[in-house]
Amino acid sequence: MPRRPRASDRPTQLRPSLAADDLRHAAYAASTAAGRRALLAQVKAGCEDRPGTYRMLGATGLVLYVGKAKRLRTRLLSYFRSAQKNARRDKQARILRHAHGLTWEYAPSEFAALLRELRLIKQYRPRFNVLMNVDDAPRGWLAVTGGPVPALRVLTRSDAPDAAVLYGPFRRLHALEEAARALADATGVRDCLATGPAGAGARAGCLRAELGQCACPGSSAAADPAPYAARVGEARAFLAGQTRGPVETLRARMFAASEAWQFERAAVLRERVAALEWLAGRLERFHAGADRLSFVYRPEGAGEDGRERVYLIRRGTVRAERPTPATDAERAELAALARRVFTAPEPADLPTHDLDEFYLVASWFRRKPEERGRTEAPPGV
């Protein structure tokens, strides 16, 4: 009788990796009831009802989940109530079943806890934060990639490693894809998936290159990268709301096609103009929102030193944090810092690493409009 194939019979490259970041990894081993009781005793003995963040740790000390709470003790105790209900589909119960350790830290305010949570998630990339961040509505971002031959790409995740600049998120993915193609046609920036050094950015037989619609150095004999860099600069200027050149370029082509009785081409160009107008309208609202999020913010709540915190927020991202000044020297230092933060030149687009923080800050003030009363114009600006 022939022997049943074993997993070890598979070629090495086809075997599942033992170090894979999934629930079979040693770090995600199930905890014991005694271990969870010890964690509960730890919370009851030492955790206070104050704003802060917490980390659930796996069997190897790996961070499984990062959370925040306005009242830490209440939030952490809720995990154990969920576990007692044996709610297998409950988020908190699922996390606790794999938790072997628990740490927490206090924050001066709920806003500070939100910021700290975001930064810890970026630092540790916990498995359960990713697994349970499920959004029924798909989202997309328009990216300009880095490298010697940048490209326009539509992405469905904000942490893509090749994205130099991101714009979004957008809910209408099909409209975003159409707008990206229209922008690529108007500027000559490539939108293909090819990779390689300068001069090898486009694949052989690229249709856009053959039609003269792509200015990528790899699509022609020209070796000078400056003209293509200028095209990329025009695309980024449009995305930053600094020019409407690509729209006018397509509109001029549309009128020229119509005058030449090329009505089908004119209709296609009309649709691409509409796609770019749609994108420009949404980017205009994004940049207007970013410009309104520039101020000094003093949320209620004191830190371990008994002093409230002052946040210098420019275009929706926290540029600096200081304790509330208590002396003339500290007030002068804060005023000088604010002048540097709010007057320094910066690009109109937000770096990719600032996008999540921008949406956190924007969401905070949208959900809590009363907090606007705790903001003020930058001193000395």
Q: Residue 7: its pLDDT value, please? A: 43
Q: Residue 23: its pLDDT value, please? A: 55
For 352, list phi and psi in degrees, rounded to 5: -60, -35
For 319, list phi and psi in degrees, rounded to 5: -90, -25
Residues contacting 43, CB < 8 A, separation 6+? 73, 76, 77, 80, 102
CA–CA gap between residue 326 and residue 228 (Å, rounded): 53
Residue ranges of the chain assigned to CATH 3.40.1440.10: 26-131
CA–CA gap between residue 362 and residue 359 (Å, rounded): 5
- Considering the segment(s) 26-131 as one domain, its CATH architecture is 3-Layer(aba) Sandwich (3.40)
57 beta partners = 63, 101
Q: Name the pTM for this structure.
A: 0.71
Q: Residue 63: its pLDDT value, please? A: 93
43 closest CA partner among 93, 12, 77: 77
Question: SS3 of 66, please?
Answer: strand
187 closest CA partner among 152, 160, 148, 139: 152
CA–CA gap between residue 100 and residue 94 (Å, rounded): 13
Question: SS3 of 85, please?
Answer: coil
For 279, list phi and psi in degrees, rounded to 5: -65, -40
Q: Residue 18: its pLDDT value, please? A: 36
Instruction: Return the residue matching tokens 């210098």.
Output: 312
Q: Residue 225: its pLDDT value, please? A: 76
Kindly state the helix (H) or strand (E) to which residue 338 belongs, with its residue range. helix 328-343
Q: Residue 84: its pLDDT value, please? A: 66
DSSP characters over 260-303:
TT-HHHHHHHHHHHHHHHHHHHHHHHHHHHHHH--EEE--S-B-
Mean pLDDT by 10 residues, the chain (381 residues): 43 37 69 92 94 94 93 93 66 88 95 94 85 60 85 82 80 89 90 58 55 61 72 89 90 92 91 92 82 91 87 91 93 90 74 74 92 84 52
CA–CA gap between residue 143 and residue 125 (Å, rounded): 22
Cα 287–chain centre separation? 16
131 closest CA partner among 211, 225, 28, 219: 28
